[in-house]
Amino acid sequence: MQPLRGPRGFIPRPRSRKRPNVGRHLITLGIAVIAALGFFSIPSVLSHELTQKTEAPPEPPFTVTVDPERKLIVVDPEIEALLEEEPTSLIASVGSLEWAFEMLAKAITDIPGYGLVAGADQKFVTIYPGYRKEQVARAFGSALGWNAKKRADFLKEVTTSPPVLEEGQFQPGTYAVTSLMTPQEIHMALYDRFSTEILERYSTTTADRVPLRDALIIASLIEREAGGWHDMRDISGVIWNRIFAGMNLQIDATLQYAKADGAKGNWWPKPVPDDKYIKSRFNTYRYGGLPPAPIANPSVAAVVAALNPKKTDCMFYFHDSRGRFHCSPDYKGHVALLKKHYGQGK
């Protein structure tokens, strides 16, 4: 049984912000003013890139190297070579272009005096991988001044009105918004990105082997448990091994999802041993099989990892105090590793 621990979700933490030096930013502010006047239009360029997706070559379809029917993880040398390092052509959506525009967007809004520039009503909302839907609503609400009721209305709109988005389908990324945008327009921006980055790449061949819903559930578990791309496929391999063996998944992040009530904005409370007895279908210690739905909104990288797990004999894993991944094929080896790195284990 995997020991309880805090999540190691792939959610970058914002850097601390120092008091701005106005003089140092005069040149940058000048560039921003020129941009607002039309030489390099922030709204037209960034909004188009971040919310509409420019016409570009279609991203490659997802590969799949797991065969649930035969309970196999297939090793394909060509795919292994592609997935050896991040980013790759198979994870195009987490590549340099998106990241560059996200950093540019944040840099521009941090410029002293930006609020006085024409067109500065444009704001940028980043949905990080591993957010749950309530955190998504809060992120947009914070930028647009929504109160709790309006955030709840937004979630009701998105999860009940076509095209319906469910947990796991609020695609991470940076979105350009203005105070004039309606919840319906934000709904469509979210759907467009999910459609472009996931649906359009999810071929019928892949769906026949791993239904999209299953892939999103497993990807959400990976997103909340992994420390980054470097161990996503390893954790995927352990999850699939447990599925093949009929073993309960025993994922700590599912306990967090089951027990969270959003008090003080804490949607990922620290799990404790008694949480293993929570009566919730999301409790993967108590109930077998996959949870009934995703527990978070995964990145494209996590979806790739869910479909292309590492072939491993490991059934148990944990991260040490430095975030390093360790796994074992049996419980005895798992306990031995826990004692080695933590001085205790059972």
In whole angstroms, what is the distance from residue 51 CA to residue 106 CA?
Answer: 15
pLDDT tens digits along 138-170: 999 999 999 999 999 999 999 999 999 999 999
**pLDDT confidence of residue 263:** 79
CA 269 to chain centre: 18
**pLDDT confidence of residue 261:** 87
In whole angstroms, what is the distance from residue 141 CA to residue 150 CA?
Answer: 8
**pLDDT confidence of residue 326:** 86
The list of the chain residues with pLDDT below 50 reads 1-54, 93-99, 116, 118
b/e for 233-243, b at 16 or more Cβ within 10 A? bbbbbbbbbbb
**pLDDT confidence of residue 247:** 96
What's the Cα-to-Cα distance from 291 to each of 102, 265, 295, rounded to whole Å? 32, 23, 8
Burial of 9 (0-12, 13-18, 19+ CB in 10 A): buried
**pLDDT confidence of residue 89:** 56
**pLDDT confidence of residue 49:** 43
- For residue 100, the one-letter residue type is A
Q: Where are the domains of the chain?
A: 23-59+88-201, 204-342
- For residue 43, the one-letter residue type is P
- Residue showing tokens 């621990």: 5
Q: How many CB atoms lie within 10 A of CB 289?
A: 12
Q: What predicted TM-score, i.e. pTM, was given to this entire model?
A: 0.79
Q: Residue 152: what are its φ and ψ, rounded to 5°?
A: -65, -40
**pLDDT confidence of residue 109:** 54
pLDDT tens digits along 232-264: 999 999 999 999 999 999 999 999 999 998 877
**pLDDT confidence of residue 327:** 85
